[in-house]
Structure formats: structure tokens, C-alpha cells
Structure 1
Amino acid sequence: MAPRTLAIMRIGIVILPDQRWSVSRHRWRRADEWGFDHAWTYDHLGWRDLVDGPWFDSMTTLTAAATVTKRIRLGTLVASPNFRHPAAFARQVTALDDVSDGRTLLGLGAGGIGFDAAVLGGETLPPRQRVDRFAEFTELLDTILRRDGTTWRGDWFAAVDARSNPGCVQEPRAPFVVAANGPRSMRIAARFGQGWVTTGPAVDDLDDWWTGVAELTSRLDATLAAQGRDPASLDRYLSLDSAPVFSLSSAQFFADQVERAAKLGFTDVITHWPRASSWYAGDEAVLVEVATRVLPELRR
């Protein structure tokens, strides 16, 4: 039986865009039927060693998912300025929020290095410049989604009379869930986010990972206090599978990890649909057990 402390948690799942829609649509539908609160996909043009295999566009996938689901929220984990421009992306966000009838969650991040940073032929930026670019990306995207007809010329982006009419179904726009581990990106989350998502530290020991996650939550609290924002006004998402152990190793392990997240004040956790090999390799039977046994306990 899942601990009672889990009752406050919302549970999400990532469905990677590495399967043809004839396969993938059943996963999105099942996630909705099982009662997951939100479902996500990666917003990359290619990801790590999976770049050589099948891979599909995130916004097209999410739009298709909106047509085969009824209640689950749908999001990018995470969109970045590596290959996105706020003026064009705002149109896609507006369309997704319309098709999903206001179920969009917009995960945003600074963007890393690797395929996405290189595929367009541009320079791979160092961390400080990536955060500079991200700050402008987020502010401009926020502005376009809130106000139709935006003209902007910054250090990284320009827009001339950028439109978002008729606007998102959600007002004033689809919620931003901002990925942030460092102090500068946390300030972006505090300013623009309705949610904050973290992957925790890059370590090999599970207990060390949780210690790092706790430190990040304390850093976020300090950031919110410095900006005069009520901590309760920002949802907190934890990507469980950034830990050294896959969260769906067993149903009990998953329940234990969710309980640890709840004790640190997280409102939401995110797991991944198990894959046959490589990243997030696991047994789908564990996911079924979590969905049919653990999740119902959370609703009691």
C-alpha cells in the first residue's frame, strides 16, 4: 500500500517520441485512462545515442496526443532556444492549447550541448551565454503569448509585429514549467514560471542525488524569497529518472521515491515509459502495476 503522504502528489509520465504513431497513440491513451496527471515528450531534433533511431517532432506528437486523450495535461520536457524562435513557437503553443482545450504545459529550458546545439550549424554556446539566451527567449515568448502584435529586438532574438491571436485557451497563456538548477535560471523560473522542474545533480549515488535535490529546493526557496514571491505559488516538478536508479525498477521503489519527493515539498513527479533497452530500460509490467495499484492509492 502506498504511504498516505503521497496523496498530495501529481504524477506525470514521459513518452519519448521514438515510436511511430501507430504504436505511440496507445501509450498516450493509456496514460490518460490510467489517471496520470500529465504526460510529456522530449523537445529535441535528436537525443543522445537515440539520434540514430526513429525520432519524431514533439509539438506534432503532442497535438496528435491531444486528439486521443480527454483529461491528461500535455507538455514539452523541455523546449529550448537551441532551435526554437519565440515568434514561431508561440503559434505552435497557441495551436496545441486550442486542440487540447487548454491542457498544455510548456516545459522550458536553456538547452544543452550535443545534436540540438549543432544540427543547425551554429556555435555551441557556453553555459553563461545559454542562460542569457534563455532569459530573453522566455521573456519574449511570454510577451508574445500575452500580447498580440509584439515588436522586439534583443541580443538573441528579433520579432516584428509577432502575432498570437486568438491566444491560448488558458489565460493569460499556457503555464510555463521552467527547468532550472543554477541560480540565474532559478530567477527566470521565479519571474515567469507557474512551475519549476529539476533533474537534480549529476551524481552516481542515489542518496547523494537526493541530498542534491534537497539543496536545490533550498536554493529555490531563497530565490523566491529574494524576489518576494510566495513559495506556494510555484508548482515543483521532479524528474525522478535523472536519479542513478530508474524510478520504475519496482512498484515499491517508485512509491518510495514519490514519498521522498513529497517530503521535500514537490507537488509533482515525473517518470518515463519503460523502454526495451538503453535509456529508461525497464519492464512495462512495473508501469502497469504502478498505474493500476499505486496511482489509485494516491486518489484515496
Structure 2
Amino acid sequence: MRAGIVILPEHRWWIAEAKWRAAEEYGFHHAWTYDHLGWRSLVDGPWFGAVPTLTAAALVTSRIRLGTFVASPNFRHPVPFARELLTLDDVSDGRFTLGVGAGGEGYDTAVMGGRAPLPRDRTARFGEFVELLDQLLVKDRTSWHGEFFTAEDARSAPGCVQRPRMPFVVAANGPKAMKVAAQFGQGWVTTGPPADDHEAWWRGVAELSEQFTETLLTTGRVARVNRYLNLDSAPVYSLSSVECFTDAVGRAAELGFTDVVAHWPRHDGIYAGSESVIEEIAADVLPVLGR
């Protein structure tokens, strides 16, 4: 089992830098940030770009893996985004993981003056987005004429540090998105189902894990796909206590997840908690994970 931490891009760098350094020093296996133009209840507060934030984080760390949690086609086109991903992979010396999802309704769509696509179109756009990114990052030249995206002889030199490209961790709760994860993902991440009841959420996570196993069998995927669980989509914040985190990690392991992801405690609002809990987890829990 590996544990990761999300550091929201809401702090000026003189504050955020210490958190990214600490994530590595504490022994987290991976650290992530959101890739949004603004997010939910925090949309009116400070917010910084994911790619510059991860680039800066790569320069102040040396071991921990870094990633987006998650990027989407809501405001990105695969051609320029692929260039940014190549740069992140290079600056991090091959420590970058692309977390990618379909995106949903909300500020990311509304702020650009567009309409949120219908669910079926969003999933189709997502599949095309991931497939085109895969080609752009692997092939020397790519031309693509799809329903949602176009590329004309796009170059990719010098290519990724990680070969054939950086790993994709694909977010998927529905059957169509799971097929995308099975085809292109080195990892699958789920938020679990919407639920107000903690036990109901865990039962839903178990069902989704079984569905993904069936998807892998149906698509004939042979290679190992790591399984990531966003612990903080549950009704209970995973870092509210050491006991809560330990319980969540144990449950995730029993369901076959290889990785869990929590969120750095904030002073108030969503993910409100104490950084002292992270310190205790770093001292007592993280050292025994993966043994």
C-alpha cells in the first residue's frame, strides 16, 4: 500500500513550498494538486495553476512522485497540454504522473462561457482526450481529426523521460470511463459513490472495484493496473485522526487498492483538520506501509 497527499493550489509559494517539501520528508509516496481554474466553495479564494505549481514542487523535491488530481478536457486541448506534460516529466526527472478525468459541470466550464456537455458527450470527449494525449506523448508526429479535437502533424521531441510516456492514472466511476482506464491507464482512481452514510460509501467502493475488475477481464487487459482510492470523497475526512486514516487504509487494502490519497488539512471549511495528525501519521503509519 502506498499513500499520497493532495496539496490544494491555494497558497502563495512561500507557504506552499514548505508543504511540498514536508510531503516528501514525511514519507508520502506521491503528492498531487487539483487541476482546476477554480473549485467549488473555494472558487472566490486564492487559486494557482496546477502545471506551474507542480513544476515548482519538482524543483524543491527529489524523490516523491508528483501528479495532477485530476486534469480534464474542460479547459485543455491535448496538443499544448502534451507540451506542458513533457516539461513536467523532464523537470521532475521522470517523477510525474498524469491523473486525468472526464471533468464535470461547474466553474471550469462556466468561466469560459461554454455549456457543460451532456454526460454522453463528456465521456466521449474524455476518451478522445486520453487517446490523443497517449499518441502525442508516444509518437514523434501525430495528426488527429476527431469529433472534439484536431491535431495537425504535432511534434513531440524530445519525448518523455519515462518511456514510452509518463503513467496515466485515469479517474472512472462509470462503465465507459472504466474502459478508458482499462485501455490507457497504468492506474485507476475512484472517488467512490455519492453517499452520506460512511458504511454505504465503503460498500459502493467495493462494488466499483468489482466492476473495474470485470472491465479489465472484458477488455483483455493483462498488464497490472494500480488502484487508487480518494479517501476524502467519503463522508468522513480521512485525516480527522490517526485512527480514522489507519482504518481507511486497512479497508482500502482489503478491497485490493494499491494506493490511497488524502488531502492536506486546511484551517477551516472542506478538509478542515490539524497538521499534527499528518505528523503522527508520518511517524507511526507511513513507515510501515508497503512493508
Same fold (TM over 0.5): yes
Give the stretch that moved more between structures: 53-62 or 221-230.
221-230
User: 2-side partners of 1:117 and 1:208: how far apart?
Assistant: 31
Cα distance change on mapping 1:299 and 1:147 into 2, 3 Å:
closer
Partner of 1:249: 240
Q: Quick one: which of 186, 196, 204 aligns to 2:196?
A: 204
Unaligned runs of 5+ in 1: 1-8
Q: Quick one: which of 40, 54, 57 aligns to 2:49?
A: 57
Q: Which amino acid is 1:257 matched to?
A: A
Q: Quick one: which of 177, 185, 194 aligns to 2:186?
A: 194
Matches within 5 A, 1:148-187: 148-187=140-179
Q: Are positions 1:278 and 2:269 aligned together? A: yes
TM-score (norm 2): 0.99
Preserved CA contact (<8 Å) 1:90 1:145: yes
Superposition deviation, residue 218 in structure 1: 0.6
Partner of 1:4: none
Cα distance change on mapping 1:288 and 1:118 into 2, 3 Å:
same
Partner of 1:222: 214
Q: Any idea what SS the aligned residue of 1:12 has?
A: strand
Q: Any runs of at least 4 consecutive aligned residues in structure 1 with deviations exceeding 6 A, and if so which?
A: none
Preserved CA contact (<8 Å) 2:39 2:107: yes
User: 2-side partners of 1:203 and 1:80: how far apart?
Assistant: 24
Q: Which amino acid is 1:258 matched to?
A: V
Preserved CA contact (<8 Å) 1:98 1:169: yes
User: 1-side partners of 2:118 and 2:267: how far apart?
Assistant: 34
Preserved CA contact (<8 Å) 1:87 1:163: no
Q: Percent identity?
A: 64
Partner of 1:101: 93
Q: Are positions 1:296 and 2:281 aligned together? A: no
Partner of 1:3: none
Q: Are positions 1:42 and 2:27 aligned together? A: no
Partner of 1:260: 251
Q: Which amino acid is 2:136 matched to?
A: I
Partner of 1:236: 227
Superposition deviation, residue 297 in structure 1: 2.4
Preserved CA contact (<8 Å) 1:102 1:170: yes
Give the number of equivalent residue pairs: 291
Superposition deviation, residue 199 in structure 1: 0.2
Preserved CA contact (<8 Å) 1:146 1:167: yes
Partner of 2:137: 145
Preserved CA contact (<8 Å) 1:240 1:271: yes
User: 2-side partners of 1:298 and 1:101: how far apart?
Assistant: 25
Q: Which amino acid is 2:227 matched to?
A: R
Q: Which amino acid is 2:147 matched to?
A: D
Superposition deviation, residue 27 in structure 1: 0.3
Superposition deviation, residue 236 in structure 1: 0.2
TM-score (norm 1): 0.96
Aligned residues: CA RMSD:
0.9
Partner of 2:125: 133
